[in-house]
Amino acid sequence: MLLFTLLDPASEHAPKLDNMETVSDVMSACLIGISINILDPDTYSLPVLESNISDEERDQFVQEDSNALSKIDRMTCTYVRGLSWSLLQWLDEKFYLQKNGRGINFIEMANNVLVDLCCYLWTFKTRAHEQYIEGATGCNLDSLKRQIDGLFDEDSQIPTRLKIELGKLEGKITDFNMSGYTVEPRNVPLPHKFDLSLESMHLGLNSSDKLYYKSIYGSIDTMMHKIKHVEGGEEYTYYLLNASLTIPTGKAEKGKKRKRS
């Protein structure tokens, strides 16, 4: 690692993945990226003032998971979530974790921590509700539960595990202690195709995203086709670097736009 740093000083900012403390830091950053929608206050606000909409329109927004995040912000969240899942997969392929001589499935461990974090988030919100403590505008038990449920793809096994864990929160104790682990690079690294554009968008799609994008594009395939072919074939990374641009659609954009510096 030292030789690598000397040969390439530009790598000094990169974490040195030779101990569990650093690996857990990277994993935590990935879990924040996966949960980014839940942590954004705009997720719980409607795209227009509530005083200007009917109950029917409000129900429609809920069904489409349409909120105050602009379309480019929403796509950025999907993109970041996909990068996070991809990085977790890369860590699992490149490094071997052990604790007390027993091999650890890294992806399973990350999923378990993510489920525990969702459970704690739900517990804290429930306690705040019981004490009449308000949080982000529009964030109540129903909206938070809807976002937690929509965080994962419907094909994932995590929602089933999460449902079980949410049903037995009383007295739940989770050990986040990462001591006692060893991290070793795998002798024969497994291949991993890492695409910073379309693959990340695919990986980042969850149940809530699919509701939202289908309401705009009609289907996920249509959305991915537009992302791939806009601007003469430039892929989504172009739009992340030029956030003021929007991908053309046949439907007026929903949501307020954030001010950008």
Q: Please identify which residue in the block is written with the tokens 């071997």.
A: 96
Query: What is the dihedral angle through the alpha carbons of 82, 84, 85, 90, rounded to the nearest 10 degrees?
Result: 120
Contact 88, 107 (CB under 8 A): yes
**78 compared with 199, residue with greater pLDDT:** 78
Measured over the CA atoms of residue 23, residue 24, residue 25 and residue 27, the dihedral's sign is positive
Does residue 214 carry a pLDDT above 90?
yes
| pLDDT at position 251 | 39
pLDDT for the residue 189:
57
What is the model's pLDDT at position 170? 58
State the DSSP code for 255.
S
- Is residue 215's pLDDT more than 90? yes
Q: What is the pLDDT of residues 143-181, one digit of tens each?
A: 999 999 888 876 777 777 777 777 666 555 566 677 788
The answer to whether residues 147 and 37 touch, using CB atoms and an 8 Å cutoff, is yes
* Residue 258 predicted with pLDDT over 50: no
pTM of the model: 0.78
pLDDT tens readout for residues 24-49: 899 999 999 999 999 999 999 988 88
In this predicted structure, the answer to whether residue 249 has a pLDDT above a threshold of 60 is no
In the predicted model, is pLDDT for residue 12 greater than 50?
A: yes
